Amino acid sequence: MILAKRPEIDRFLSRPDPDVRAAVIHGKDRSGVAERAALLCKAITPDLNDPFNVTLLTDTDIDADDGRLEDALTALSMIGGRRLVRVRLGGEKASTDKALAAALKLHAEGGFNPDAMFVIEAGALGRDSALRKAAEASKAAVGIACYEDETGDVARMTREALAAEKVSLSAEALDRFVGRLPRERGLMRQEIERLILYIGPGSGVQLGLDDLEAHLGVEPDASLQDAALQAFGGKPAPAQAGLRRALAEGESAVMAVRQAALHLGKLRRINILQSAGAGAKEAAKAAGVFWKQEAEMLRQARAWRLDDLDRVLESVNTADLATRTTGMPEALIAELLLLEIAARARRMGL
């Protein structure tokens, strides 16, 4: 079956129907897919690291061992409770799509352990995907497509996150902040968290428009903004110089990667708005583009299509994680990311 409306999706993720044995959550916004999948999985078993009741597989695992998925779906719980089999797909491969579709169909019919929950996280699955068709056709499975959040959903998410920390924005400030947010859910969450830290968690403060502008004004330094602008414009040397200047001025590599993500989000927003019929200047303004950068951003948006931006987003997310968790040289990670972006841009003619 298909779940499409937000209330029914939220209801299912928090309280999954025990008669449903499988769920396919897919979409271009991989952060949104991962977030929804995590909610569902935690509703099945609170401890996602439980080695007895949880099995996590990737498409590489399945391709390397044909029987591994079947073994996981057949296994019984050793300590009681519902088993969870979670599959994360990193790419699009027809053979894997068909194999998972066949396993899902059999599992939904009770062919494996009927008490196991089978959750699959995937990128955007087209209507010709066998996996998507299998999930949507079965009464014991659900298909959930993750689309870009609407402005109203983003505003609601922001209000709820702020309220949980006992802070808030005025109506004007909320409109301004939501308009500046990237539409990739993981990046969106990061910016909301940064705002909460700026206001002061638990302070009870409501931020007005002027105070919010002060916060937005201290977003990553102009050198980082320029580095991202140059990279997406296909100019590796100026991008590299801007990054090194920013790091010398005390900015962090983490913020450099985040600035690249924000720039990417603006290009995505311009693309989406223009495809919906908005004029170029109107789209740039709605995406939060500084007026002095409008001409260059629109030039870039004409070359960077959504598919290209989605591919770069994978690199941005990988770099963001690496700068915060691996202990590798942060500056080198950020520099390699900008050079990769600039190289892609040059191949597209920028």
Domain 2-145, architecture per CATH: 3-Layer(aba) Sandwich (3.40)
CB 309 within 8 A of CB 347: no
Q: Sorting pLDDT into bands at 50, 70 and 90, what band is 139?
A: very high
Query: How confident is the model at residue 217, as a pLDDT?
Result: 57
- Range list for CATH 1.10.8 in the chain: 151-217
- Range list for CATH 1.20.272.10 in the chain: 222-347
Of 94, 93, 76, the residue nearest 85 (C-alpha)? 76
Query: How confident is the model at residue 221, as a pLDDT?
Result: 54
Tokens of 50: 């439980």
Express each pLDDT in 149-161 by its tens digit: 777 888 888 999 9
Task: Give the percent of the chain with pLDDT over 70.
Answer: 96
CB 153 within 8 A of CB 39: no
Mean pLDDT of 262-266: 92
CATH topology assigned to domain 222-347 = Zinc Finger, Delta Prime; domain 3 (1.20.272)
Query: How far apart are the C-alpha atoms of 347 and 307, rounded to whole Å?
Result: 15
Query: How confident is the model at residue 326, as a pLDDT?
Result: 61
* C-alpha to C-alpha distances, 23 to 49, 60, 73, 103, 111, nearest whole angstrom: 19, 20, 14, 12, 16
Average pLDDT, the chain: 87
Strands (E), the chain: 2-3, 22-26, 54-58, 84-88, 117-122, 141-145, 168-169, 206-207
Report CA 136 to chain centroid distance, whole Å.
Answer: 23
Query: How far apart are the C-alpha atoms of 72 and 86, rounded to whole Å?
Result: 9
CB neighbourhood size of 213 (10 A) = 12
Query: How far apart are the C-alpha atoms of 60 and 73, rounded to whole Å?
Result: 17
- Range list for CATH 3.40.50.300 in the chain: 2-145
Write phi, then psi, for 206 (nearest 5 degrees): -105, 125
Report CA 245 to chain centroid distance, whole Å.
Answer: 29
Q: Which residues are CB-contacts of 195 (< 8 A; sequence separation ≥ 6)?
A: 162, 177, 215
CB 9 within 8 A of CB 36: yes
**Is the per-residue pLDDT at 219 higher than 60?**
no
Of 72-76, 184-188, 294-298, minimum mean pLDDT range:
184-188
**Is the per-residue pLDDT at 220 higher than 50?**
no
Express each pLDDT in 84-110 by its tens digit: 999 988 777 788 889 999 999 999 998
Query: How confident is the model at residue 327, as a pLDDT?
Result: 66
Mean pLDDT of 162-181: 89
Element housing 106 (H / E): helix 94-108
Tokens of 147: 């689309």
Query: How confident is the model at residue 170, as a pLDDT?
Result: 93
The gap between the terminal CA atoms of the chain, to the nearest Å, is: 44
pTM over 0.75: no
Task: Give the percent of the chain with pLDDT over 90.
Answer: 41
State the amino acid at position 38 in one-letter form.
A
Express each pLDDT in 24-55 by its tens digit: 999 877 778 888 999 999 999 988 888 888 99
Strands (E), 137-248: 141-145, 168-169, 206-207
Angle at the Cα of 32 (from 30 to 35), degrees rounded to 5?
A: 110
Q: Give me the numbers of helices (H) and strands (E) for the chain, helices first please.
A: 17, 8
CATH number at 151-217? 1.10.8
Query: How far apart are the C-alpha atoms of 30 and 26, rounded to whole Å?
Result: 8
Residue, of 261 and 190, whose pLDDT is higher = 261
Of 150-164, 213-227, 307-321, minimum mean pLDDT range:
213-227
Tokens of 282: 């109107």
**Is the per-residue pLDDT at 218 higher than 60?**
no
Q: Sorting pLDDT into bands at 50, 70 and 90, what band is 264?
A: very high
Q: Which residues are CB-contacts of 226 (< 8 A; sequence separation ≥ 6)?
A: 238, 242
Query: How far apart are the C-alpha atoms of 35 and 40, rounded to whole Å?
Result: 9
Of 66-70, 118-122, 167-171, 232-236, minimum mean pLDDT range:
66-70
